[in-house]
Amino acid sequence: MTRRLDSAHRDLRRRRLIKRLAWLVTIATFVFLAWGFVWEPGRLIQRDYAIALPHWPAQCDGLRADVVADIHTGSPRNGVDKLDRVVSQLSASDSDVVIMAGDYVILKVFLGKYVTPEVVAAHLKPLLAHKRVYAVLGNHDWWKNGARVRRALESIGVVVLENQATEISLGQCRLWLVGVGDLWEGHPDIPRAFAAVNDDAPVIAITHNPDIFPQMPARASLLIAGHTHGGQVNLPVLGRLIVPSHFGDRYAIGHIHENDRDLFVSPGIGTSIIPLRFRVPPEISMLTVGP
């Protein structure tokens, strides 16, 4: 009799434990879905980065640049109202320049709505009254007609650099901005992009896909990219799950220093394919560059 009672008690405890675990899994799943599909994609944070570069000239110490990428206007929780918030915060920033690293439109995203590049440009236009803006195109832009996206951006005053360089002066700092075409769809031509760089002024290069980083010449003090969305999902222990890169999460997000060269990868604003962000909030990256 005692053995039967003990067995019954064990079975009861086991059933209670299983029931509690089932409730915990249900609650955790609900929190994950609410966080990832509803709350986080609608957020917009600003994050400061201090990037120290070797051989960076003293006259350019403290250069400020705000970086945005993968705007993907039209993805869920990321409509033109969100773009207006981005523009408002960029306009109010004390940065010297704004750099946009591609993917302003979306090819497709579940529950999303395609927004034309002309509409995106119209909502970006107020920013040009406050800041100089330089950009490259991303793979989604090319998939939805890169020439059209470029025309829309240039019509409002954005300088689009596709395998091109331009010399700029920001206060006492004179430097080159070099745009390299997207690795997947933009026919990148690094020698052509750097061809106009004819002196020893520092170079900041811009591209969409960071996988091109190992091919970049040492002449580039810093490469700025996007594309990865920071993995979109960053789970404890498991890490970043959705990184569209041949290098895994090596170039997924933030400042990377490798082989005496420097890369900064923006986590982006919108989403693509799956409208999910978890522990990778939409971000305006505020860079301060110094020696």
CA distances from 25 to 16, 32, 37 (A): 14, 10, 18
Predicted confidence at residue 14, as pLDDT, reads 77
Give the lowest-confidence range in 19-28, 65-74, 109-118, 213-222.
19-28
Contact 269, 282 (CB under 8 A): yes
- Tens-place pLDDT, residues 222-256: 999 999 999 999 999 899 988 999 999 999 999 99
Question: 170: closest CA among 223, 125, 197, 132?
Answer: 132
Q: 266: closest CA among 218, 206, 217, 220?
A: 206
CATH homologous superfamily of 43-290: Metallo-dependent phosphatases (3.60.21.10)
Q: Which residue has the tokens 């709350």?
A: 39
Asked if 182 and 142 count as a contact pair (C-beta separation under 8 A), the reply is: yes
Give the domain ranges of the chain. 43-290
Q: Which residue has the higher pLDDT, 231 or 25?
A: 231
For residue 31, the surrounding DSSP H or E stretch is helix 2-33
CA 201/CA 165 separation, integer angstroms: 12
Residue 166: in which H helix or E strand, if any?
strand 164-170
pLDDT in tens, 155-178: 999 999 999 999 999 989 999 999
Spatial separation of the C-alpha atoms in residues 83 and 98, rounded to whole Å: 15
Query: Identity (one letter) of the amino acid at 286?
Result: M
Give the contacts of 33 (CB within 8 A, at least 6 positions apart). Answer: none
pLDDT digits (tens, 9 = 90+) for 41-73: 999 999 999 999 998 999 999 999 999 999 999
Is 0.85 topped by the overall pTM?
yes
Structure confidence at residue 81 (pLDDT) = 97
Q: Tell whether the model's pLDDT for residue 5 goes beyond 60.
A: no
CB neighbours of 128 closer than 8 A, spacing ≥ 6?
A: 156, 157, 158
